A and B are shown apart, each in its own frame.
Chain A
Amino acid sequence: MEIFWFFAGFTILGLIGYGFQIIAVRSQISSLNAGEGQAPPLSPYLPPISVLKPLKGIDDNLFDNLESFCMQDYPEFEIIFSLQDHNDLAYKVARKIKEKYPDRDISIVVERCDDGLNPKVNNLIPACRASKYRYILVSDSNVLVDRDYLKEIVKHMQDPAVGLVSNMIKGVGGRTSGSIFENLHLNSFVLGSVCFLDRFLKMPCVVGKSMLMRKSDLEAIGGFKAVKDVLAEDYIIGKKMKEAGRRVVLSNYMINTVNKHWGMKNFLNRHTRWGKLRWKIGGIQYVSELITNAVFMSFIPILLYKPSRITIAFALFTSLLKIMGDLYLGRIMKADIKFPFYMLSPVKDIAIGCIWVIPLLSNTVVWRGNRYTIGKASLLSPCAENSRWRYRIADVIKARFA
Chain B
Amino acid sequence: MLLCDFHIHTTYSDGSVNLRRTVDLFGQAGFDVIAITDHVVNGDNTMGRLAHKLKFSVREDNFDEYMGRIRQEAERAWDKYGLLIIPGVEISKNHLSADKSAHFILLDIKEFIPACWDYKRIFTEAKEQDALIIACHPHHMSDLSRDTLFLWNNRERYAKYIDAWEIANRDDVFNVISLKKYPYIANSDFHKVRHIYSWKTLLNCEKKIEPVKQCIRHNKGVAITLFRR
The chain A residues found within 8 Å of chain B, CB to CB, are 57-58, 60-64, 89-90, 92-93, 95-96, 99-100, 176, 261, 263, 369
Contact = CB atoms under 8 A, between A and B. Distances in A.
Main secondary structure of the interface of A (DSSP, over half): helix
B96 interface: no
Contact of B229 (A58, A64, A99, A176): A58
Given A63-B81, A93-B30, 7 more contacts: A58-B229, A60-B28, A93-B29, A95-B30, A96-B81, A100-B82, A263-B194
Given A89-B227, A261-B193, A99 B82 contact: yes
26 contacts: A57-B229, A58-B28, A58-B29, A58-B30, A58-B229, A61-B28, A62-B28, A62-B29, A62-B30, A63-B27, A63-B29, A63-B30, A64-B28, A89-B29, A89-B30, A89-B227, A89-B229, A92-B3, A93-B29, A95-B30, A96-B30, A96-B81, A96-B82, A99-B82, A100-B82, A369-B229
A218 B206 CA distance: 45
A133 B40 CA distance: 57
Contacts of B229: 57-58, 89, 369
Contacts of B29: 58, 62-63, 89, 93
Interface in B25-84: 27-30, 81-82
A89 B194 CA distance: 15
Given A57-B229, A261-B193, A92 B30 contact: yes
A176 B193 CA distance: 10
A267 to B, nearest CB: 15
A61 B27 CA distance: 9
B42 to A, nearest CB: 33
Contacts of A62: 28-30
B77 to A, nearest CB: 11
A100 B30 CA distance: 12
A369 B228 CA distance: 12
Contact of B28 (A63, A99, A263): A63
Contacts of B27: 63
Residue with the greatest number of chain A CB neighbours at <10 A, chosen from B3, B227, B229: B229
Contacts of B81: 63, 96
B74 to A, nearest CB: 17
A261 B196 CA distance: 12
Contacts of B28: 58, 60-64, 93
Contacts of A89: 29-30, 227, 229
A95 B29 CA distance: 12
A23 B3 CA distance: 49
A61 B28 CA distance: 6
A102 to B, nearest CB: 13
B20 to A, nearest CB: 13
A86 B211 CA distance: 25
Interface in B170-229: 193-194, 227, 229
A92 B202 CA distance: 13
Nearest to B1: A92
B149 to A, nearest CB: 33
Contacts of A93: 28-30
Residue with the greatest number of chain A CB neighbours at <10 A, chosen from B28, B194, B229: B28
Contacts of A261: 193-194
Contacts of B193: 176, 261
B79 to A, nearest CB: 10
A176 B29 CA distance: 18
B206 to A, nearest CB: 15
Contacts of A176: 193
A36 B78 CA distance: 44
Nearest to A58: B29
Nearest to B228: A89
A261 B28 CA distance: 13
B118 to A, nearest CB: 41
Nearest to B2: A92
Nearest to B196: A58
Interface string B1-21: 001000000000000000000
Nearest to B197: A58
Nearest to A60: B28
B202 to A, nearest CB: 11
A92 B227 CA distance: 12
Contacts of B30: 58, 62-63, 89-90, 92-93, 95-96
Contacts of A96: 30, 81-82
Sort A-B residue pairs by CB-CB distance and give the 8 closest, nearest first.
A92-B30, A93-B30, A63-B28, A261-B193, A58-B29, A62-B28, A57-B229, A61-B28
Nearest to B21: A175
B61 to A, nearest CB: 31
Nearest to B79: A100
Contacts of B227: 89
Nearest to A63: B28
B170 to A, nearest CB: 17
Contacts of A60: 28
Interface string B81-107: 110000000000000000000000000
Contacts of A90: 30
